[in-house]
Amino acid sequence: MLPAARTPLAELSPPIALGALDGRYRGAVVPLVDHLSEAALNRARLHVEVEWLIHLVTQDVIPGADHLAEEEQARLRELVTRFDAAAIEELGQIEAETVHDVKAVEYYVRRRLLGIVGEQRAATLGELVHFACTSEDINNTSYALMVRGAVEQVWLPRARALVDQLTGMARDLAEVPLLAHTHGQPATPTTMGKELAVLAWRLTRQLDRVGSTAYLGKFNGATGTFGAHAVAVPGADWQQVSRSFVEGLGLTWNPLTTQIESHDWQAELYGDIARFNRILHNLCTDVWTYISMGYFAQVRGQGTVGSSTMPHKVNPIRFENAEANLEVSNALLDVLASTLVTSRLQRDLTDSSMQRNIGTALGHSLLAVDNASRGLAGLDAVPAAMAADLDTNWEVLAEPIQSVMRALAARGVEGMANPYERLKELTRGRRIGQAELVEFVQGLGLPAEEEARLAALTPASYVGIAPVLVEHLPAGPRTQDSAPVQGS
């Protein structure tokens, strides 16, 4: 039996999103639309075109060219600040005729210039719109401005807030003892705070790298030689004109390029963000494991359904969703970083299509940050569960006992030979309790002070200076979403 005809979803209005970021998850990533959407790209192009025109006339780059009054400059800049749906639609109509996105922006500026300075002056000033530019002069500076805005105004603040939240948790749990696991096996105890601090420290380093990114821009013509510039106006210092313009946009001037800015800075930035993502992925898998071990309880704000069939379950979905989105983000960031640094000879258009995925790459990372933050906010630490595991693994004290024996043997104390082998015989492949361990210690012939110290040692107290190490994290108030200790 053939299925009945269905209503074509693609024909419904308003349009239905194809991707999850513009559909299910739009609320978490919508601030990026202002920076990395197609409309944002055209607005950035408009900004660069307007500023280049103003730069040429205010710096008297073209001898004898008309000037723009301050009011006229302000009206030109309003094309950018008041860029709206009508402007987007008009640009789309122009591009349908030009079949060239940057040329459409140029024509749009020239149209608007007509209404600002009048027909006669627009006939001459209009020739300075896009003067001596190749499309990539406009595009590379536009992308640099867009990516900088997206990173500095949206992604970095959210990522820093997550790390601050994690830092608060690390401080709160700095002294809560935890049985460490190396290779999945019980190992030297630590504290939950110290383990979270390690991840906060690693994430902070990557954010510092991202925060120090240099956003490069070039403005040197069709093959990076200032060819048209030098022929049209040979008396101008075109390198200085270019440099002052690019730096006036708030970017770092790149003096040596082909037709395109080489995108190396983008590859570096995406590599740093991808590394942050991978460390955050590590955080998610570790916290997921702690939840499965009962070290954290997901009890706060649990009005949600955990399992559709098992009422007792609260699934760690925030961390699992974060993992998935981090993996999608990194797939895109990796391909961006690896492909953008290569261009055939002067240029090819692979970068044009590739860069349109920057918003998706950062969007999935931003969504993962949001998920991880929500996940951490729903956790309560359960010291009782951590203590129970510690209390059933007294064999982890074999390490400090044999270390004390080694130190004594090195000082010439009798009877301390082969400490590792003796502890291995006692502990390997078997569980021991406090009584067996104390009996063993008392039979070693240790000096009285050392014997008393080791006999009093417990897995919970054997955490070294873990609480002190947390102090390496930046100082600051406890965050609102830090995980409290259950029962406190």
Distances (CA, A) of 320 to 31, 244, 309: 23, 48, 19
Out of 183, 212, 308, 312, the active site residue is 183
- Grouping H, G, I as helix, E, B as strand and the rest as coil, residue 462 is coil
Q: Are 324 and 1 in contact (CB under 8 A)?
A: no
Angle at 455 between CA 454 and CA 458, to 5 degrees: 80
Nearest CA-CA partner of 259 in 334, 147, 351, 358: 351
Burial class (CB in 10 A: 0-12, 13-18, 19+), 276: buried
Would residue 183 show up in a list of annotated catalytic residues for this protein? yes
379 Cβ neighbours under 8 A, 6+ residues apart: 287, 291, 296, 297, 298, 300, 483
Written as six digits, the tokens of 452 are: 């008393």
Written as six digits, the tokens of 188 are: 């030297």
- Grouping H, G, I as helix, E, B as strand and the rest as coil, residue 404 is helix
Out of 67, 100, 292, 307, the active site residue is 307
Written as six digits, the tokens of 416 are: 């301390």
Cis before 189? omega within 30? no
Rounded-to-integer distance, Cα 88 and Cα 38, Å: 10
Q: Are 350 and 339 in contact (CB under 8 A)?
A: yes
Catalytic residues: 183, 307
